[in-house]
Amino acid sequence: MSDQLTLSRRSFIAASLAGGTALTLDASVVLAAATATAPADVLNVFVRINADNTVTIGAKNPEIGQGVKVMLPMLIAEEMDIAWEQVRIEQTDANEKIYGVQTAGGSTATPRNWLPMRQVGAAARAMLVSAAAKKWGVDPASLTTARGAVIQPSSGKSLTYASLARAAAAETPPDLAKVQLKDEKTFTIIGKSKPGVDVPKIVKGEPLYGIDTSLPGMVHAAIVKCPSHGGTVASFDDAAAKAIPGVLGVVAVNSGFVPQGKSDTVVVIADSWWKASKAREKLAVKWDDAAVTGFSTAKYEADAAKIVDNAPQASLFKVGDPDATLAKAAKVVKADYEYPFLAHASLEPQNCTAMFQNGKLEIWAPSQAPAGGREETAKLCGLNADDLTIHLTRIGGGFGRRLMNDYMVIAGQVAKAMPGKPVKVLYDRTDDFRHDFYRPAGWHRFTAGLDANGALIALKDHFVTFGADGKPIRAAQMAPSEFPAPIVPNVDLGASYMATNLATGWLRAPTSNAMSFVWQSFMDEVAEVAGLDLPEFMRRTLGAPREIPGERVKFHTGRARGVIDAVCKSAGWQGRKKGRGFGFYFSHLGYFAEIVDLSMKDGNIQIDKVWVAGDIGAHVINPINALNQAQGCVIDGIGQALVGQKIVQENGAITAENFGDFALMRIDAAPREIVVEFVKTDFPPTGLGEPALPPVIPALANAIYSLTGKRHRRLPLEMI
């Protein structure tokens, strides 16, 4: 990928040497400093070698359940040549000047860090070997390493990494781009299952998440936001709220969603969150919201129905002459599809703890994009970005929600208004549902043309969604390379945009979670008209193995064919069968094909089994986590598609208050079995947080059609 992490030699040795001999820990090193009883040497910003020959490795990216807190240290440990039982893992702080990109989004952690983190480990190993070679007066090339020791094969002598760490830290770090990496055939950690480092704490319910943050003297804050998104504070009367014992203050702030200089959130601070929450009921707030109360789900649907009948406002991709081709096509297939706004429904509500003192702001945040939060918070607090210290906490769900940092922005401003006191801002469940950054709704009008042999020769889509100034708003995009557009000779993809007051954002498998449903469900319709099942129609459409240029990445038809063939073989697919559906999708650099089997019980549809085949390259770094991610994606995708997963808006405001208004996946609705297979190919490894999710949605919809004869062209699906 073009945005692959690049670490400089300078950042690699941010733990610097004083006078070239004594190791000095500077303030930029987040790994805990050595104590008198447990001395340790920081070899670089990611590695600390402890006196007992264990190695503490810093996990730099936010952990939201995707397993990156184990995966990244695995890469370093592999190249350091230490045993996994020697590894201790610590979460680093957020500081991209030291650690490079620190985000959890887009399944980018693996492709960005596959080489850089291995280079970090290999460089540390090289420094240790060099130190041992000098101690013995031998050529470094004559030495080997194993299980945290440097070995001289000719004499059988060995030195532990702990005994060499101080001397190794004095070595000049090698050029990371030229450091020698291990032969992949000799891997002992990569490709072996390693459990999540936080699992014991999660099982025991020990403090771990942002919501668990507790600091001496901490006070608590509850929020009141304008019900209609985009409304601002006109005035407020806080006398009744402040009269409640334990209430410490009331402050109006900007969540980052409205122009600077405006306020859209009133915050009550008290000595307990319960008091703050009860006191906010006493606030009398007048909102300036006349411009944002006219938006509603009903209006969107009515407007979309009119817009889709007209020509698209913008062209996304056009090749050939689809209209002329359709006029001469042997068969023409038409269908309209749609999907609603969705919320993230995070199990851990949004929260952030902040403390302002001496002109500096310290933050404890469950953020997927802390660098963005740093910039936004600094701007609205009138600080320099370097004045912020951000401690990363584990994130309790809501894939994509924590890419938006409104909770950090609010906490920073509140803390600045209460200097010297740590302040925890906590949304309640209703706050979370009504002030989310929603997956945008969309409407599609498809037309496809087939020749006499059933080949797809023309394709059109008028996509109606939300935008301004002729461009889509955040997360409302459709890629011009949406499959199968790049390999059809005559294509016209167009889009039209409506206004909305809602804040929008990325939901797990952003855009793909919606596009997979409409495109693969429609392709199933087209395949049926062609007299084929969807896998065979896909094979014929894909054609010979080759790379197809895309907007940002290339699409490999051979890799797509590989997972289609694999899942069909695994599931014993033999053409269309009642209660069975298929779906394929390429997203976040991963190729996935899935088959869903359904049955009817007591008049209700139940999901019996799901087969998954995925191609994420040559290496599955942590197999047990890869299995968990694929299975979790399947369950999450089914949840996105189910009845109840729909956000409704009235008078500019969201109506949902709690999970009773937005049904989540329940255990009795989950598949009885999910079978996962990885097809290894000779390509660099890619991520797994998202690409297994999109195909299950159309596979489920297509399975419902095959079971009931009813074609579902809108989400959520009816499972009855």
Beta strand 547-548 pairing with 360-365: unpaired
For the chain, what is the domain count? 3
Residue 204 lies in a domain: no
Residue 431 lies in a domain: no
> Are 302 and 276 members of one domain?
no
Query: What residue numbers bound the domain in which 226 lies?
Result: 210-290+350-426
> Are 231 and 266 members of one domain?
yes
Residue 592 lies in a domain: yes
pLDDT of residue 50: 93
Q: Which of 400, 426, 452 is the last residue of a domain?
A: 426
Question: Is the pLDDT at 27 greater than 80, yes or no?
Answer: no
Which letter does DSSP use for residue 665 in this model? Answer: P
Mean pLDDT across 482-489: 95
Question: Is the pLDDT at 18 greater than 50, yes or no?
Answer: no
Question: Is the pLDDT at 23 greater than 50, yes or no?
Answer: no
Flag the least confident range among 10-24, 222-236, 478-492: 10-24
Residue 259 makes CB contacts below 8 A (sequence gap 6+) with none
Mean pLDDT across 532-545: 97
Q: What is the CA radius of gyration of the chain?
A: 28
**CA–CA separation, 513 and 345 (whole Å):** 16
When the pLDDT of each residue in the chain is averaged and rounded to a whole number, the result is: 93
Where do we find the tokens 């070997």? 129
Question: Is the pLDDT at 41 greater than 80, yes or no?
Answer: no
Mean pLDDT across 328-356: 97
Residue 719 lies in a domain: no
pLDDT of residue 182: 97
Mean pLDDT across 688-698: 97
> Are 569 and 664 members of one domain?
yes
Q: For residue range 276-293, list pLDDT tens digits in order.
A: 999 999 999 999 999 999
**CA–CA separation, 501 and 296 (whole Å):** 10
Q: Which of 186, 220, 252 is the last residue of a domain?
A: 186
Beta strand 40-44 pairing with 471-472: unpaired
pLDDT of residue 322: 98
Which one is predicted more confidently, 27 or 609?
Answer: 609
Angle formed at CA 692 by CA 686 and CA 697, multiple of 5 degrees = 150
Question: Is the pLDDT at 13 greater than 80, yes or no?
Answer: no
Question: Is the pLDDT at 195 greater than 50, yes or no?
Answer: yes
Mean pLDDT across 307-312: 98
Question: Is the pLDDT at 40 greater than 70, yes or no?
Answer: no
E-only strand ranges, 320-441: 331-339, 351-357, 360-365, 388-392, 423-426
CA-nearest of 421, 414, 413, 409 to 365 is 409
Question: Is the pLDDT at 24 greater than 80, yes or no?
Answer: no
pLDDT of residue 494: 98
Q: For residue range 634-647, list pLDDT tens digits in order.
A: 999 999 998 778 99
Share of residues in the chain with pLDDT > 70 (%): 94
Question: Is the pLDDT at 321 greater than 60, yes or no?
Answer: yes
> Are 302 and 286 members of one domain?
no
Question: Is the pLDDT at 43 greater than 70, yes or no?
Answer: no
Residue 542 CA: distances (Å) to CA of 487, 648, 655: 7, 39, 44
> Are 284 and 302 members of one domain?
no
Share of residues in the chain with pLDDT > 90 (%): 89
pLDDT of residue 37: 38
Mean pLDDT across 328-351: 97
Mean pLDDT across 540-559: 92
CATH number of the domain within which 87 lies: 3.30.365.10
Mean pLDDT across 118-138: 96
Question: Which helix or strand (DSSP H or E) is residue 236 part of?
Answer: strand 232-237
Mean pLDDT across 532-556: 93
**CA–CA separation, 279 and 231 (whole Å):** 22
Q: For residue range 425-461, list pLDDT tens digits in order.
A: 999 999 999 999 999 999 999 999 999 999 999 999 9
Q: For residue range 93-127, list pLDDT tens digits in order.
A: 999 999 999 999 999 999 999 999 999 999 999 99
pLDDT of residue 12: 52
Q: For residue range 621-680, list pLDDT tens digits in order.
A: 999 999 999 999 999 999 999 877 899 999 999 999 999 999 888 898 899 999 999 999
Q: For residue range 495-534, list pLDDT tens digits in order.
A: 999 999 999 999 999 999 999 999 999 999 999 999 999 9
Query: pTM of this prediction?
Result: 0.93
Report residue 30's pLDDT band, with 50, 70 and 90 as the boundaries. Answer: very low
Beta bridge partners of 446: 335, 461
Residue 194 lies in a domain: no
Residue 697 lies in a domain: yes
Report residue 42's pLDDT band, with 50, 70 and 90 as the boundaries. Answer: low
> Are 551 and 665 members of one domain?
yes
Mean pLDDT across 470-477: 96
Mean pLDDT across 49-53: 94
CB 267 within 8 A of CB 206: no
Work out the number of other CB atoms within 10 angstroms of the CB of residue 35: 8
**CA–CA separation, 342 and 286 (whole Å):** 28
**CA–CA separation, 247 and 242 (whole Å):** 6
Mean pLDDT across 169-196: 94
Q: For residue range 388-415, list pLDDT tens digits in order.
A: 999 999 999 999 999 999 999 999 999 9
Q: For residue range 576-613, list pLDDT tens digits in order.
A: 999 999 999 999 999 999 999 999 988 889 999 999 99
Q: Is 703 exposed, middle or buried (0-12, 13-18, 19+ CB in 10 A)?
A: buried
CA-nearest of 418, 387, 8, 30 to 219 is 418
Residue 203 lies in a domain: no
> Are 152 and 257 members of one domain?
no
Mean pLDDT across 245-263: 96
> Are 515 and 602 members of one domain?
yes
pLDDT of residue 6: 57
Q: Which of 426, 454, 470 is the last residue of a domain?
A: 426
> Are 118 and 254 members of one domain?
no
> Are 470 and 413 members of one domain?
no
How far is CA 379 from its chain centroid? 25
Residue 704 lies in a domain: yes
> Are 322 and 369 members of one domain?
no
pLDDT of residue 38: 40
> Are 422 and 480 members of one domain?
no
**CA–CA separation, 434 and 703 (whole Å):** 33
